[in-house]
């Protein structure tokens, strides 16, 4: 059975008057098989799109929770091969989220070809600037992969237009200035950033960083096309006594969040 495209997922969410729910889980965390099961649990709970994390030794955009998950994945010797294996097991559209060096080391051409064969639909690159993208643009095009860059509240309007112009699939808007991880409250930065993005792009806009509860998901769903959640899931896995319990908790949270992204547009 052919998976939906990203565009189909965002279109369906729009027709249902809701935001899409995007869940992040690193490959190889807490084990290679465990990460596949956790991703199935995310999807069971209603996650529409999956970000498969490629663990990296120096994750400067990540807070303590994802750093811990990355360390565990690296101890399990998770590399490109394992990341691609996890991608190929995912039943909804999946993107790889990776810092740049592991991709450069694998080879841009090799990585994009291998990801396309594994059934991945794109790559999110949090530390790749458009100026350094070089043959990344060409190779992702050639392999029909979406390129997702991450923009921030500090990104000015002219740069937003340039970066969004190189994105495809969707634009990742960081809700705040900072690293990944749950926050008690989200500022107005996210809605302002999305409003500025709307002026320069017709692509769907997904908001991430700091979202952990159904209430936050609902508030973000009011103005964004997608809500991205990562650390909140990982925290549950770190707290769970075993993988079965972890999967249950992850599904429960995904279900709550999935209700959240539906409530945002009501009334």
Return residues touching other proteins (CB under 8 A): 56-61, 63, 67, 71, 74, 79-80, 100-106, 126-129, 131-132, 149-156, 159, 163, 174, 177-179
Active-site residue set: 51, 62
Nearer to other proteins, 156 or 242 (CB): 156
Q: Would you say 21 or 52 has its CB closer to other proteins?
A: 52
What is the rounded distance in angstroms from the CA atom of residue 204 to the CA atom of residue 224? 8
CB of 254 to other proteins, least distance (A): 27
Q: Toward other proteins, which CB reaches closer, 49 or 179?
A: 179
Q: Looking at beta carbons only, is 105 or 198 nearer to other proteins?
A: 105
Scored b (16 or more CB within 10 A) or e, 121-157 reads bbbbbbebebeebeebeebbeebebbbbbbbbbebee
Q: Which is nearer to other proteins, 49 or 66 (CB)?
A: 66
- Residue 218 sits at φ, ψ, to 5 deg, of -65, -40
Cβ atoms of 243 and 34 within 8 Å: the answer is yes
Q: How far is the CB of 71 from other proteins (least distance, A)?
A: 8
């Amino acid at each position: 059975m052919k998976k939906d495209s990203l565009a189909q997922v965002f279109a369906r969410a729009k027709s249902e008057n809701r935001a899409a729910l995007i869940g992040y889980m690193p490959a190889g965390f807490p084990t290679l098989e465990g990460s596949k099961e956790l991703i199935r649990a995310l999807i069971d709970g209603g996650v529409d799109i999956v970000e498969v994390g490629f663990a990296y030794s120096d994750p400067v955009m990540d807070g303590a929770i994802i750093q811990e998950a990355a360390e565990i994945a690296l101890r399990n010797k998770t590399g490109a091969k394992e990341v691609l294996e996890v991608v190929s097991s995912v039943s909804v559209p999946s993107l790889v989220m990776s810092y740049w060096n592991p991709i450069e080391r694998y080879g841009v051409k090799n990585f994009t070809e291998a990801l396309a064969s594994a059934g991945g639909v794109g790559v999110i690159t949090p530390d790749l600037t458009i100026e350094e993208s070089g043959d990344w643009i060409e190779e992702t095009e050639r392999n029909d992969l979406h390129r997702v860059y991450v923009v921030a509240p500090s990104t000015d309007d002219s740069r937003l237009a340039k970066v969004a112009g190189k994105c495809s699939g969707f634009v990742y808007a960081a809700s705040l200035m900072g690293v990944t991880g749950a926050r008690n409250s989200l500022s107005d930065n996210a809605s302002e950033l999305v409003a500025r993005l709307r002026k320069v792009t017709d692509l769907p806009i997904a908001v991430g960083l700091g979202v952990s509860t159904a209430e936050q998901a609902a508030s973000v769903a009011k103005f964004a096309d997608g809500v991205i959640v990562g650390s909140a899931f990982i925290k549950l896995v770190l707290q769970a006594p075993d993988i079965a319990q972890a999967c249950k908790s992850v599904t429960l949270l995904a279900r709550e969040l999935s209700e959240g992204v539906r409530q945002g547009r009501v009334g």
